[in-house]
Structures are given as structure tokens and as C-alpha cells.
Amino acid sequence: MAFFNYIRLVLSLILAVTVVGCSDEEVPKEPVKIDTPDEPEPEPPTFTIIYYASGGGASDAAAGRGLDLAIEKSIEYFQKRQLKRNVKFTACIKWSNGYEGKYANGEGNTYRLYVDKEHPDFEFEYVGDNSYPINEPQNIADFITWSKEVAPSEEYIIVFSGHGNGWHPEVGINDTVDHTRGILRDTDRGCYISCEELYKALDIADTHYRMIFLGSCLMNTIEYVTALSNYADYILASSHISIMFTTELNYLAHMLEREIVDNSDETFIQGIYDYLNQDINTTITITDYVYDRIDFMLTDCRKVDPIVEATKVFTDIIMGLYDESDKIGDDAFRAKYGATIADMEAVLANSYYFLGQFMSEIEINYTEYLRQSFTYDLGDIASKAASALNYEPLKVAAETLHNVSREAQAVCYATPSVSKSRLHHSVTFTNAEKWAERRYEESGYESSLFDQRTGWSRFLKRNNTPLKF
């Protein structure tokens, strides 16, 4: 009996040890299900489109009246379509004196308005009569400040729309010379917003923009881009003549609502690419007109400095070659570099220059000559110079300029008639004779930020390139 009790005790101990051992082992368990709410979709960034526009002159049935109609069309879109929560719109419009339309009574007054999801039914607020100076920096700044108050956003896109004539030697602050270059013409007062006036206004307004859209003709000059690059992430502009409807702010608003979900650079660039290549391109191709040359370039302002620096290197090298030619003479220069300076200048005469639609050299009258004669493709100038001379530093400088220019181009759109695989920014290009004749010295070109940093005017005052215009 004692033996059986002993066996029972041993078995009990073994069983106890076995049970304890099993309880220490890792036993797979069913995952615990915890009910968690779905992650909410991230809110898209808010944008305010700030629209500063001027009519083109009611007496000009084509280019003039068309601008007033284009402004009217933009406003009409925002009146009819309720914006989504992430896009707002403000406008300051100076109608042409004599233009009568849906919103204009022929008196040419200046008004402002704003539209957002909560305020779709806008009212025009009187700003000034036909004498109101839209080129006054404080007036521009006041409108920007007002826009931020009535339509605050995380990001701002400012659009300038009207007649533009690029950079011109005969226009400066408060200059009233007709047919000369500038940003956004105040037609009835006979003057433009100059580059200096614009960056003074942006200084006063103290706002950084996601994009500055220079929606007027001939705006993509490196002089403008250099001066304005500190105020924005991107600049969108054309080097050719633009068309009154190519801004198409309804498409811009659609793009912001449709595509900008996280406001990354990648998303924004893709959005502008689609805006140009789908929306604007469709508008151009379905019209009854034949457009010769149209382009738009989105410049990454954070990559402008390398273009300026590369231009200075190119300018320094080419000026050194001019000095050497003067010192050693044509024969020795040709023996060393395979061509003379005059040979190089003959090649430079064929650099790409910017004209607009409907234009050919035969059709250029005096007005168009003033408007379109002075801007050429910066990269093409450098490439042409490098191709003419057998000098490796010049070739390297031209290639560097091409590469940094391409790097800064977030988007480059061009119609097939442009006939160039890659555009660069436009730049003022003239020769020594025309430098004096066109009053570049008096115009203050050498005080421009671009020229201060590059000394480009050294080249303009020195070369004898036989230009077409």
C-alpha cells in the first residue's frame, strides 16, 4: 500500500511539473481587434488667387478690347461657379475708359472684389476713377494687404494681367513713353508698372508667394526673374507675346482644387504642368486663330542664383576675349581660336529672338519693332558664341549656363512653332551702337539687380553684333 502511495505521489509531481512547463511556453494567440476610426483625409492647403488686371484700351478693337473681355470672362467664372473650400479669389480691375460690358459702364473706373466658398455673391468695391494710378507701389501693396485680410490663406498666387512689353531701355519709374516695355500697362494714363515699382510694392506688402504669374506679354526676361525671385517660390511667365485668354484663371482654380492635395513642390509642379499642357493647350488649339509662337516657363526661384552666377562667368570670359583681341590683333587671335571676334559676332546675330504670334520680320512695323526687338534667348547667345571660337573655357561656360537654366525650369511649355527644343530666359541683347541710340545708359539698366550681379551691360556696350533689329 505504501508503494502505491509512493507511485501516486511521483505521478502527481510529474503532472504538476508538466503543467507548469506548458504554462511558461509561448502560445500563439488571436490578435486583439481594436476598433479605430478611419484616418481622415488631409485638408488641402488653401490658396488665394490675387488678380491685378488692367484693360487694354477700348479703342483698340483687337488687343485692347480683348483684354477687357478676358478680365470680364475671368470674373464671370468666379461669379457662376462656387469655389471649393481651398481656393479663394480677389481682384483689382481697372477697366478701359469707354469699355462697356457686363461689369463695366464705360467710365473706366477701378474696382476690387473677393470671392470664396462662403461669399460667392461678390460686390464691386469702388477704388478709384479713371485717373487711379495702378503703377503706384503703395496702391499695389494696399490691394495685396486687403486681399490677405478678406481672403486669408496658407498660400498666395498673384497674377498680373494686361498689356506687357518686357524690359525696355526707354521705360523706368513713372515714365510715360508709349510703346515701351514694362509690366502691365495703365492704358488710359499712358504708363506701365515698371519692375522697380513692382518690387517696391512687394517689399511694402511683405508677402511671400507660392507663385508670381506675370500673365502679360514678353515677361520672362532674366532681368525680371532676378529682381522678383526673392518674393516667390515660382515665377510663371512667357518670353513671347502672350494671348489675352492664356491666363484662364478658371483653369488655374480648377487645377488647385483638383490636384494640390499636399502642397509639395512635386505636386505643385505637376499641377502647373497639367494647367499648361492640358488646359491652356486645349484653349489654344480649339480657337479659330493660328498662333505662331507661344511659351510659358515655370521658374523655380530657388534656382535662379546659379543662372546669374553662370551668366557672370560667361560675361567675364567673353570680355576677356574682346580684350585679348584688341591686344594681339585679328590674325593672331584667329590663329589661336580659329576665328575672329567679328566672326563670332556674325554667328551671334543668328541667336534666337522673341517675337509673338502673327509676326514675321516683314510684318514688323515701328511699334512692333519697339516692343519686340531687344530680347534674345540667353542660353542660345552663349551657345552661339561658344560654337564660333575654339576655346574650352567658353564652351564650358556656355554648357554650364545651359544646364543651370534647364535645372531652374520646373516646367517649360511651348507651341510647335517655337521651333526650339529648349528655351532659356530672354535677356536684353543689343550692340554698342544701339546701346547709345536707345538710351540704355540713361534708362538705368546698369542699376538692375541682374546687371549689378553679372555686368552683362559690359558686353552690350562692347560688341558689334549685326542684329536684325
For the chain, the domains span 47-303, 306-407+419-460
Of residues 50 and 130, the one with the higher pLDDT is 50
What b/e readout covers 323-361, taking b as 16+ CB neighbours within 10 angstroms? ebbeeeeeeebbeebebbbebbbbbbeebbbbbbbebee
Report pLDDT digits (tens) over 107-136. Answer: 889 999 999 988 888 889 999 998 999 999
Cα separation, 251 vs 255, in Å, equals 6
Report pLDDT digits (tens) over 360-418. Answer: 555 555 555 555 557 899 999 999 999 999 999 999 999 999 999 999 999 999 887 77
Cα separation, 356 vs 336, in Å, equals 40
Helix axes 392-408, 378-388, angle to 10 degrees: 160
The three three-digit cell numbers of residue 401, written as one number: 549656363
Cα separation, 293 vs 282, in Å, equals 15
In terms of average pLDDT, the best of 176-185, 204-213, 215-224 is 204-213
Determine what percent of the chain is predicted with pLDDT higher than 90: 52
Assess whether pLDDT exceeds 80 at residue 24: no
Give SS3 for 292: coil
Helices (H), 25-173: 63-80, 137-150
Identify residue 452 by its one-letter amino acid code: Q
Other C-beta atoms closer than 10 Å to the C-beta of 32 total 5
Residue 191, pLDDT score? 80
In whole angstroms, how large is the CA radius of gyration of the chain?
31
Instruction: Please give the mean pLDDT across all residues of the chain.
Output: 83
Cα separation, 132 vs 139, in Å, equals 9
Of residues 168 and 161, the one with the higher pLDDT is 161
274 pLDDT band, cuts 50/70/90, is very high
37 pLDDT band, cuts 50/70/90, is low
The three three-digit cell numbers of residue 312, written as one number: 557672370
Mean pLDDT confidence for 36-58: 79
The three three-digit cell numbers of residue 127, written as one number: 477704388
Report pLDDT digits (tens) over 225-271. Answer: 999 999 999 999 999 877 766 778 999 999 999 999 888 999 999 99
